[in-house]
Amino acid sequence: MMTKKFLPFLFFLPVLCAHGQQGKPVAKTIIQYTTAAGTDLRLSKTGSLSFKSMPQPLETEVCVFVDPSKTFQSVIGIGGSITDAVAENFAKLPEKSQEEFLEAYYDREKGIGYTLARTSIHSSDFSSGSYTYVADMDTELKTFDVSHDEQYRIPLIKKAILAAGGQLPLYVSPWSPPAWMKTNNSMLKGGKLKPEFRQNWADYYVKFINAYEAKGIPVWGLTVQNEPMATQKWESCIYTAEEERDFIKAYLGPTLEKNGMRNKKLIAWDHNRDQVFQRANTLLSDPEAAKYIWGIGFHWYETWTGSNMLFDNVRLVKEAFPDKNLIFTEGCVEKFDLDSVKNWALGERYGYSLINDFNSGVSAWTDWNMLLDEKGGPNHVGNFCFAPVHADLKTGKLIYTNSYYYLGHFSKFVLPGAKRIACSSNRDRLISTAFINPDGKIVVVVMNKTGVALPYHLWIDGKSVGTNSLAHSISTIIIN
């Protein structure tokens, strides 16, 4: 069970209240949690810390600087996707492991407290096969029926909502329209939405949302199209920026509004960071399209080109369109290999992305599959990938990769409604971000991707806490 995954509390001492220039308390208690390679530390409490006076740090003194008075975007949630593959794997687990999975992801005390979810509108590659909710050429959508999802997906989403305390914002994404609506007459390998079916396809989203909500699953938002510039061997559909803009402003936006769904968060792009500004600029520079768009979603797979992750492109979108939201909608490590589930680089990819994405203005962050099997699936086209947790269906046991713990350093401590606050490091070996929760607690996340430990000071308003960033580690410091 998850309670065994966290090490016991090592020690805790209350510290005297330190005061800043305005006479307001800087901290009463300070607790640090750490996950580190080559140790048993996994989201483990590694003791308490104390503030001391440090009026002006020297350049030779390593510091992470935090200013809670400088606030930025609010946080909506952090979570993962409940795909058909996740739900099918969950159903195949023994009851004890099912309970462990739900506790591990959704319990804030014993697990990592996920507060956001994504799922697909009919099939994706992480389904055991392609399917839709309507019969071929049913242009009026009279046969629309989501009973396929009642076997695995709908039951798991309902259990996840309960495990999360009765509320779990869910957004939904299509990978492809039905084959008969497309130019290539296939759900797979790209193709485009035929112009004559644009209204039918817009109606399809509404049908799906209504069907899920009728089953007791509230839908918080939706994306227009998963990866609209990728011709994949699995379900995919291509939109240029202009085509997506015109579909939103002439069909999808008005259709949502006409059906009383203006409050659903409409997310555009839903693809990689490499073209995120070009797409956002085209969509949001058109007032008639922009009025329907809540925000811009993106993935991290621009690295397929050999590029590093392009956070500056995300930041530019926020600077150019500050009234719109940014949401990370998908990321996973591809090319699954069971022998690599202990690879420390898995988690470090997550930590690197999470810190930089939040520092670029992101309000919500969603991992891809929450649970895959010991082969990295199921996936009906062999696109097997890593997940933070894998199910060994032969033994019924769960396998935790370090990605799970790296994600937990954010989702367990950064609560919905938190605001990002100013945070900077004076060494590139340490990357960091910080938040202030609605209850006033300050959350600072510091990551060290190098093989060398580095002592540093956490500095706030003339006071500092001395601590140590272990090699290949991530730490979350809670200041109350």
Any idea which residues carry the catalytic annotation?
227, 330
Decide if 296 contacts 327 (C-beta within 8 A): yes
Angle at 344 between CA 419 and CA 329, to 5 degrees: 40
Decide if 269 contacts 279 (C-beta within 8 A): yes
List the helix and strand counts (H, then E) for the chain: 11, 23
Residue whose token pair is 């009234």: 323
**What is the rounded CA–CA span in Å between residue 101 and residue 114?**
12
- H or E element, residue 420: strand 419-425
- φ/ψ of 124, rounded to 5, equals -130, -175
Take residue 418 and report the two structure tokens written for it: 């938190």
Q: Sheet holding 389-392: strands in order across?
A: 371-373, 389-392, 397-400
DSSP state of 131: -
Take residue 250 and report the two structure tokens written for it: 């002439």
Decide if 479 contacts 68 (C-beta within 8 A): no
